[in-house]
Structure 1
Amino acid sequence: MTMTDRAENTLLILPGLVLLVLAFFVPIAQMLVLSVAGENGPTLAHFQRFLSDPYYLNVLWRTVRLSAIITLICALIGFPLAYIMAHVSARARLWLVIMVILPLMTSVVVRTFGWMVLLSRSGLIPEVLRDMGLVGRNFSLMQTETAIVVGMVQVLLPFMTLSILGVVTRIDRRLEEAARTMGCGFLQTLRTVVLPLSAPGIVAGSLLVFTLSASSFVTPNLLGGSRIQVLAASIYRSVTQTLDWPFAAAQAVILFVGILVLLMPYARLSGRTNG
């Protein structure tokens, strides 16, 4: 590569690098500086406050636990759906993809308000459960962890499904036919052939769903209310109600580092596998 080619390549990537620095690295750096800001200089008091308070540790644990549950449910629904989409005709697959993507065309706020109507005490779902005699008169799913999980699964399921679909469609059909010829049943073929080959898509989708779920604010806040706090809602409250920006930044750093720790092993494994 000549010096001219290198200069041209540098000029081509320069706008993207500048945008990345301004939109990502500068805000992250400001957040890191603010998280250790104190009256008498840098301090770790904000992190110590978070890690020593059972309330905030419970908020962190709830965020991780709900994100893991949401990710698991999305994987259990997304894998069969992606497998079906990969094995139908091209026309049927197109319509299924449109149906999966269509909710993304609607605002998350609008969809969450729809779930608030369905899950409230007078909503359709509690009404049906009451008519079936499964719950009491005052039963409501609003302001519960179940409501958060239901709403977040509906919001994030397309990301999991499309991530798995991109891998499943590249699996050679002859491998499944060979497994069936060797005596494997349908479920055994899925377990021994399709599922291992789909692992990269499942892992990628799981990471995407987990990170989006852990950092989500609107849906957990509207469906969970003030009783059930997640970390993003706690950060928002520290900024808007108590005006404790350094403590909010410390919480954001903890969330950011936690997600980064989750992503690094996958990035290394993906780099070794795909170069």
Structure 2
Amino acid sequence: MNKLRTDLLIAAPGFLLLMVGFLIPVAGILLLGVRDANGVLTATHLSRFLTDPFYLEIAWRTVKLSLIITALCIVAGFPLAYIMARGSARLRLWLIISITLPLMTSVVVRTFGWMVLLGRGGLIPDTLNMLGLVRRNYSLMQTETAVVLGMTQVLFPFMVLSILGVVMRIDIRLEEASRVMGCTFLKSLRLVVLPLAIPGVIAGSLLVFTLSASYFITPSLLGGARLPVLAGSIYETATRTLDWPFAAAQSIILVVGVLMLLIPYARLSRRANG
């Protein structure tokens, strides 16, 4: 009992800050989405979203892009995290600096950088044109490819650092034993390292998916009005049309949708890995 009381006292300031700065404001916004002008509970705003094909397409695009971004971060992040964990201390230091340095730069600045690279006359379209793959004056702006590239670069460090923390705790003698027993390097990675690194992959996936589903600056700038995502739709509804109840209803859809995907994923992954 004394230990529980001590723990509660230690956690009280942080919990109070969380309540005042996050839970209470968010709860107020979410309640706005299920109430009418008279304060009576209603599902009108939610049903408007769920019966409109335009908004359903936005929701599907948000989920699809978030899944693609998460998958790309896993595929590219795991090898880099393994190299950082098994490399020398100097190599690990420089790679960590390279990974974390973009986090010190504003997301808006990085997104404008991608706009320069992907826009008409940018480095990437001009290179593709020189290789004969695209026509002249080709642009990747306002495409799903641009959104995926920009968001993957923004969220990639979260995946790498999540996996790195787990891989560094894996005893290298397990890999050596698998090699002695006849495994190739790639087979050892697949049968020994990857299963043990699953907790880091799960943690990174949860971070990347939730962040990509809730981002609106990068998708809005790279995708434009042609490719709206749910977070951008919430922002537009609240600031341009000033329809706060419908914006709150979209927020409810976003929160519930993310939880419906993440909770089963986390439970199944935890059960599969003990």
**TM-score bin, normalised by smaller chain:** over 0.9
Consecutive aligned runs of 4 or more in structure 1 exceeding 6 Å deviation: 269-275
Task: Name the structure 1 match of 2:12.
Answer: 14
Residues in 2 aligned to 1:271 and 1:167: alpha-carbon distance in whole angstroms: 15
What's the offset of the Cα at 1:259?
Answer: 1.8
Matches within 5 A, 1:108-147: 108-147=107-146
The residue that corresponds to 1:181 in the other structure is 180
Deviation per CA, 1:181-219: give whole Å up to 9, x if none.
Answer: 111111111111111111111111011100000000110
Once the two structures are superposed, the pairs formed by residues 107-256 of structure 1 within 5 Å of their partners are 107-256=106-255
Q: In the TM superposition, what is the alpha-carbon distance from 1:9 to its structure 2 partner?
A: 4.6
- The code of the aligned residue for 2:28 comes to Q
**Rounded Cα–Cα distance in structure 1 between residues aligned with 2:92 and 2:5:** 44
Rate the CA distance shift 1:134–1:272 in 2: closer, same or farther, 3 A: closer
Q: Please state if 1:30 is matched with 2:28.
A: yes
Measure, in 1, the Cα distance between the counterparts of 2:199 and 2:7: 31
Deviations 1:91-116, CA, capped at 9 Å, x for gaps: 11111111110100100000000000
Amino acid at match of 1:23: G
SS at match of 1:226: helix
Measure, in 2, the Cα distance between the counterparts of 1:192 and 1:13. Answer: 40
CA distance in 2 between partners of 1:7 and 1:164 (Å): 34
Q: Report the 3-state secondary structure (helix = DSSP H, G, I; strand = E; otherwise coil) of the residue aligned with 1:243.
A: coil
The Cα shift of 1:242 comes to 1.1
The amino acid of 1:261's aligned partner reads: M
Give, as a single letter, the amino acid of the residue that structure 2 aligns with 1:58: E
User: Is the 2:81–2:163 contact (alpha carbons within 8 Å) kept by the matching residues of 1?
Assistant: yes
Once the two structures are TM-superposed, the CA of residue 158 in structure 1 deviates from its matched residue by 0.3
**Distance in 1 between residues matched to 2:272 and 2:5, nearest whole Å:** 31
Cα distance in 1, alignment partners of residues 5 and 63 from structure 2? 46
Gaps of 5+ in 1: none
Identity of aligned residues (%): 65
- 2: CA distance between counterparts of 1:215 and 1:39? 27
Moved more, 225-234 or 261-270: 261-270
Deviation at 1:131, TM superposition (A): 1.3
Q: Confirm or deny: 8 A CA contact 2:202 2:269 kept in the other structure.
A: no
Gaps of 5+ in 2: none
**Number of residue equivalences:** 273
Structure 1 CA distance for aligned equivalents of residues 158 and 44 of structure 2: 38
Deviation at 1:262, TM superposition (A): 3.0
How many Å apart are 1:42 and its aligned residue? 1.7
| Residue aligned with 1:177, SS | helix
Contact 2:214 2:230 in 1 (8 A): yes
The one-letter code of the counterpart of 1:171 is I
Please tell me the root mean square deviation across aligned C-alpha atoms, in Å. 1.9
Offset of 1:39 from its aligned partner? 3.1
Task: Provide the secondary structure at the position in 2 that maps to 1:134.
Answer: coil
Q: Which amino acid in structure 1 is aligned with residue 153 of structure 2? A: Q
Residue aligned with 1:47, SS = helix
Letter in 1 for 2:258: I
* Cα deviations by residue, 1:154-205 (Å, 9 ceiling, x for unpaired): 0000000000000111111111111111111111111111111111111110
Q: Which amino acid aligns with 2:11?
A: I
Alpha-carbon contact 2:179-2:185 (below 8 Å) kept: yes
Contact 2:121/2:137 (<8 A) preserved:
no
In the alignment, residue 103 of structure 1 is paired with which amino acid?
P
Q: Which residue identity lines up with residue 36 of structure 1 in the other structure?
A: V
- Distance 1:7-1:207 versus aligned 2 partners, 3 A rule: closer
